[in-house]
Amino acid sequence: MSFKAIRADKSVSGHEVRFVEMDESELMDGDVTIRVTHSTVNYKDGLALSGKSAIPRRFPMVLGIDLAGIVETSSHQGFVPGDQVIVNGWGLGETHYGGYAERARVKGDWLVRLPEGWTRAEAMAVGTAGYTAALCLLAIEAAGVTPAMGPVVVTGAAGGVGSVAIALLKAAGWRVVASTGRLAEAPYLEGLGASEIIDRATLSAPGKPLGKERWAAAIDSVGSVTLANVLAQTRYGGAVAACGLAGGMDLPASVAPFILRGVRLLGIDSVNCPMPARLAAWGRIARDLDRAMLARMTETVGFDRVFDAGERILAGKVRGRIVVEIG
């Protein structure tokens, strides 16, 4: 059976990314075959679609780090044909054929069941970005930091991670400070639950090793100087969950926040996250994320619009989440 996919192939200049027709016999090893109905566009997907990044680590590679769909065949004891499932990470689009295809074959141990009452489109409106936001919140709570200790700042607030993070934090009782370079999005961010909007410029310029204590916690998807400034302004005993690098991979910080204020830096990995933590994150999302609010932060595009969506997310022109209708 043939199907359509977006695939990265080696080329003379590096690699090229394009739509191709593939045969089911070309799928990689796995014990579950899925008819993919939806995927999404995360910042990482935008990098891969550009053909200029090192996201794909083998070739050829079907792109897309997320998928939702229906099990067609399974030799895994936990899943049967007809089950609705989600896959986030596990090397999809990097080392294993990903979600930008009408068919996928993966390990059953990677699958999460679609939350009861949710649609596959809603699951992809959450996607890796929203699931990562939930992992961040759970890590902050596990560190013992609570809303009673002060506000929480969210950087890259109008993006996918930021949008879902604000909604989940608000539901958990936090006072949310949203940092964004798009101040025109203030009404959108306030609608998600942000109490205060600050210009990202206040965090993106080199700052002092220690600044005024402003927040008890943070969810940062930017990295680099922004993360250094967030750490420098975190209150005594606070915690910062770092999950992204939109501003760069470097961290020009000092040890001062750690040894003088006991601030904790929590690294969040969504790709190889153990299944118990994945299930906890999806359980929290299913319980606390307002689905009407999720719909307001979501744009839906057809499979043929993926490249355009990838360009827009890299240019910082995407608000919230993008769902891709594959099937």
φ, ψ of residue 179 in degrees (nearest 5):
-100, 125
Radius of gyration of the chain (CA): 20
Decide if pLDDT at 260 tops 90.
yes
Distance of CA 158 to the CA centre of its chain: 13
- Mean pLDDT within 96-106: 98
pLDDT value at 242 more than 90: yes
The backbone region for 93, taken as left when phi is positive above 0, alpha when psi lies in -120 to 50, beta otherwise, is: left
pLDDT on residue 146 = 98
pLDDT of residue 327: 79
Instruction: Output the average pLDDT for the chain.
Output: 96
Q: Quick one: average pLDDT of 304-322?
A: 96
* pLDDT grade for 206, boundaries at 50, 70 and 90: very high
pTM of the shown model: 0.96
Q: How many helices (H) and strands (E) does the chain have?
A: 10, 16
- CATH code for the structural domain at 2-114+297-325: 3.90.180.10
Q: At which residue do the structure tokens 């009673």 appear?
A: 148
| Across 247-266, average pLDDT | 97
Kindly state the tokens that stand for 211: 């600044």
Does residue 66 have a pLDDT over 90?
A: yes
Is pLDDT above 80 for 168? yes
| Cβ atoms of 6 and 37 closer than 8 Å | no
- CA triple 222-227-228, angle to 5 deg: 150
Predicted local confidence at residue 38, as pLDDT: 98
H helical segments located in the chain: 43-49, 120-142, 160-171, 186-192, 201-204, 224-232, 256-260, 275-288, 291-296, 306-314
Q: Which CA distances in Å does 189 have to 252, 274, 284?
A: 28, 31, 21
Residue-wise pLDDT for 271-282, tens only, equals 999 999 999 999
- List the strands of the sheet with 2-11, edge to edge: 14-23, 2-11, 61-62
Give pLDDT, residue 263: 98
Q: What CATH superfamily is the domain 126-267?
A: NAD(P)-binding Rossmann-like Domain (3.40.50.720)
Name the one residue in this structure whose structure tokens are 């601030």: 263
- SS3 of the chain: helix, strand, coil, percent, to 5: 35, 30, 35
Q: What is the token pair recorded at 61?
A: 């590679």
Q: Which of 212, 210, 168 is nearest to 193 (CA)?
A: 168
Query: Which pLDDT tens digit goes with each residue over 106-158?
Result: 999 999 999 999 999 999 999 999 999 999 999 999 999 999 999 999 999 99
Query: Residue 218: its pLDDT value, please?
Result: 99
**Predicted confidence (pLDDT) at residue 202 exceeds the cutoff of 80:** yes
Q: 């995927």: which residue's tokens?
A: 39
Share of residues in the chain with pLDDT > 90 (%): 96
Q: What is the pLDDT of residue 109?
A: 98
Phi and psi at residue 48, to the nearest 5°: -65, -40
Contacts of 290 (CB under 8 A, 6+ apart): 167, 171
d(CA 4, CA 91): 20
φ, ψ (nearest 5 deg) of residue 72? -100, -50
Domain ranges of the chain: 2-114+297-325, 126-267
pLDDT at 53: 82
CB 43 within 8 A of CB 314: yes
Q: What is the pLDDT of residue 225?
A: 98
DSSP 210-231: S----EEEEEESSBHHHHHHHH
- Binned at pLDDT 50, 70 and 90, residue 52 comes out as confident
Which helix (DSSP H) or strand (DSSP E) does residue 13 occupy?
none
The C-alpha atoms of residue 300 and residue 172 are separated, in whole angstroms, by 28
